[in-house]
Amino acid sequence: MGILFVDNPGWFFRIKKFTLAARMVKFMDIPFNKPHFTGKEALYIAESAINGKIAGNGPFTRKCHAYFENKYGIKKALLTTSCSDALEMAALLLNIGPGDEVIIPSFTFVSTANAFALRGARIVFADSSAENPNIDAQAIESLITPNTRAIVVVHYGGIACNMDVIMALANHYNIPVVEDAAQGMDALYRDKPLGSIGIMGALSFHETKNITCGEGGLLMINDKSLIQKAEIAWEKGTNRAAFIRGDVKKYEWVALGSSYLPNELTAAFLYGQLENAENVFTDRAGVFKSYYEALQPLAQKGRIGLPVVPDYAKPNGHLFYITTANTGERNNLLSYLQDRGVNAVFHYLALHNSPFYQKKHDGRRLLQAERYTDTLLRLPFYYGLQQTEIEYIANILNEFYDNK
Ligand SMILES: Cc1ncc(COP(=O)(O)O)c(C=O)c1O
């Protein structure tokens, strides 16, 4: 320990102020994401263990299925080990194979494209719209060829894509639409839950999502003719689900499939979360609104871009993003926030420029997808994020742009 002699009292106060500011920064440590717990998760897991039901397709799995089927009015819900798996199931159920083309937005997570690439399809990447990162509905038609077997839409941040336009086009060309609603649980397109509009939809319950079980997903099957096939694919290509219901006396290998179903411990955890879904939805919608209001003045000055929520979309408060003028500014802002205890992040990296797909892509520039890749920044967002924390973050953003 040392002693600092300060002759000039002005210096003393400056040092003190600096120390206080440093303490404040250290004190403020706002994570990007914080999963919440209701307390019921552990109880239900214990119940599964005590009852000796810990493999998949048990009582909690069925409760979760019933929850979504009743709440969304969908034909069939199947829990999966992830949204990636739900999308892989969708590709399998649509019999996607080599020579087929699938239209997918470039600005998305790898799983959206991987699911179809794994079956040998050629991925035809579409651009995002200028108003938000969702697929540009107007850009789809020119990508359709006689080989197009599916259109996959991603409801970015739980903000619905323009489904009337997309479904009309898809129906005209008789092409199924799969909705990647990984971020979209409880968000609506008009009055319809995301994932319930296309032939199939997929949700994610990854740790970063509004409702979570660590890793998990859900496949919504909206076409009756696919239900039996889906149950079989889900249970490793066997008719075990029918056997468990008592519909058949033995189960056997009847089609292609895999182990897409999660164990009961995961389903029990998820069920504990689902019971709190309304609170989560209300709280997160409040966080979204607070961010929007706090940052609107900066957007009005033209310094940042804010999410555009079209009239037809009712989002679920999944995330909040801003866009900056360019990559340099985005990266400087990320460091500026980080230095002040705010953990912001960026994503996605447009897939048409990815190391894996770049050479397979047809060379078209996708300007909006590239712009979001370069300029989008996600702010901390979780259930329980306080108004004071949102104000603190908004102040830092204002300070950053005032100093520019
Ligand atoms: C748009 C999108 N699709 C799919 C996934 C994959 O979800 P999971 O981690 O549940 O497999 C994610 C992950 O965040 C995603 O953002």
Structural domains counted in the chain: 2
Q: Which of 274, 306, 321 is the last residue of a domain?
A: 274
Query: Nearest Cα to 394, choosing from 314, 309, 289?
Result: 289
Best residue among 154, 156, 180, 204 to mutate for probing ligand 1, ranked by most atoms within 8 Å of CB = 204
141 and 22 together in one domain: no
161: pLDDT strictly greater than 70: yes
281: pLDDT strictly greater than 70: yes
253: pLDDT strictly greater than 90: yes
pLDDT attached to residue 14: 44
319: pLDDT strictly greater than 60: yes
Answer whether residue 53 is part of any domain.
yes
pLDDT attached to residue 279: 96
Contact 153, 135 (CB under 8 A): yes
Answer whether residue 1 is part of any domain.
no
| Three-state DSSP state, 48 | helix
Answer whether residue 235 is part of any domain.
yes
pLDDT attached to residue 305: 98
Q: Kindly report, residue by residue over 326-359, the tens digit of the pLDDT.
A: 999 999 999 999 999 999 999 999 999 999 999 9
Q: State which residues form the domain around 264.
A: 40-274
Mean pLDDT of 79-103: 98
Helix extents (H) in 275-340: 277-300, 327-339
Our answer on whether the CB atom of 111 is closer than 6 Å to any ligand 1 atom is yes
Structure confidence at residue 238 as a pLDDT band (50, 70, 90): very high
What is d(CA 131, CA 116) in angstroms, rounded to the nearest whole number? 27
Query: Nearest Cα to 375, choosing from 328, 309, 306?
Result: 328
Answer whether residue 393 is part of any domain.
yes
Best residue among 33, 87, 107, 111 to mutate for probing ligand 1, ranked by most atoms within 8 Å of CB = 111
Structure confidence at residue 18 as a pLDDT band (50, 70, 90): very low
Structure confidence at residue 15 as a pLDDT band (50, 70, 90): very low
Tokens of residue 56, six digits = 């998949």
Strands (E), 18-143: 76-80, 101-105, 122-126
Q: What sign does the CA torsion over 222, 223, 229, 231 have?
A: positive
Contact 160, 398 (CB under 8 A): no
What is d(CA 385, CA 285) in angstroms, rounded to the nearest whole number? 11
Answer whether residue 228 is part of any domain.
yes
Q: How is the beta sheet containing 200-204 ordered, strand by strand?
A: 76-80, 217-221, 200-204, 177-180, 148-154, 101-105, 122-126
Q: Which long-range contacts (CB under 8 A, 24 or more apart) does 300-304 make?
A: 301/401, 303/401, 304/397, 304/401
Q: Which long-range contacts (CB under 8 A, 24 or more apart) does 119-125 make?
A: 119/91, 119/92, 120/96, 121/91, 121/96, 121/97, 121/149, 122/147, 122/360, 123/351, 123/357, 123/360, 124/148, 124/362, 125/350, 125/351, 125/352, 125/357, 125/361, 125/364, 125/366, 125/369
Query: Nearest Cα to 356, choosing from 125, 200, 29?
Result: 125
193: pLDDT strictly greater than 70: yes
- Judged on CB neighbours under 10 Å (0-12, 13-18, 19+), 356 is exposed
Nearest residue (by CA) to ligand 1, atom 16, is: 109
Q: Residue 160's domain is classified under what CATH number?
A: 3.40.640.10
Our answer on whether the CB atom of 291 is closer than 6 Å to any ligand 1 atom is no
| Three-state DSSP state, 79 | strand
Structure confidence at residue 214 as a pLDDT band (50, 70, 90): very high
Our answer on whether the CB atom of 156 is closer than 6 Å to any ligand 1 atom is no
| Three-state DSSP state, 47 | helix
pLDDT attached to residue 28: 86
Structure confidence at residue 404 as a pLDDT band (50, 70, 90): confident
Comparing 18 with 201, which gets the higher pLDDT? 201
Core vs surface per residue 203-236: b (16+ CB within 10 A) or e: bbbbebbbbbbebbbbbbbbeeebebbbbbbbbb
267 and 351 together in one domain: no
22 and 102 together in one domain: no
Instruction: Work out the mean pLDDT of the chain and round it to a whole number.
Output: 94
Mean pLDDT of 245-273: 97
> How far, in whole angstroms, is CA 348 from its chain's centroid?
11
Say which residues have a Cβ less than 8 Å from residue 344's Cβ, sequence separation at least 6.
32, 333, 334, 337, 338, 377, 378, 379, 380
Our answer on whether the CB atom of 307 is closer than 6 Å to any ligand 1 atom is no
> Would you say how long the chain is, in residues?
404
47: pLDDT strictly greater than 60: yes
Q: Which of 240, 274, 308 is the last residue of a domain?
A: 274
Say which residues have a Cβ less than 8 Å from residue 373's Cβ, sequence separation at least 6.
107, 348, 349, 350, 353
Best residue among 80, 84, 107, 207 to mutate for probing ligand 1, ranked by most atoms within 8 Å of CB = 84
21: pLDDT strictly greater than 60: no
Q: Residue 373's domain is classified under what CATH number?
A: 3.90.1150.10
Mean pLDDT of 108-119: 98
Our answer on whether the CB atom of 113 is closer than 6 Å to any ligand 1 atom is no
pLDDT attached to residue 19: 46
Range name among 11-25, 68-82, 86-100, 190-204 with the lowest pLDDT average: 11-25
Pairing outcome for strands 217-221 and 148-154:
unpaired
Flag whether the pTM goes above 0.85.
Answer: yes
Answer whether residue 2 is part of any domain.
no
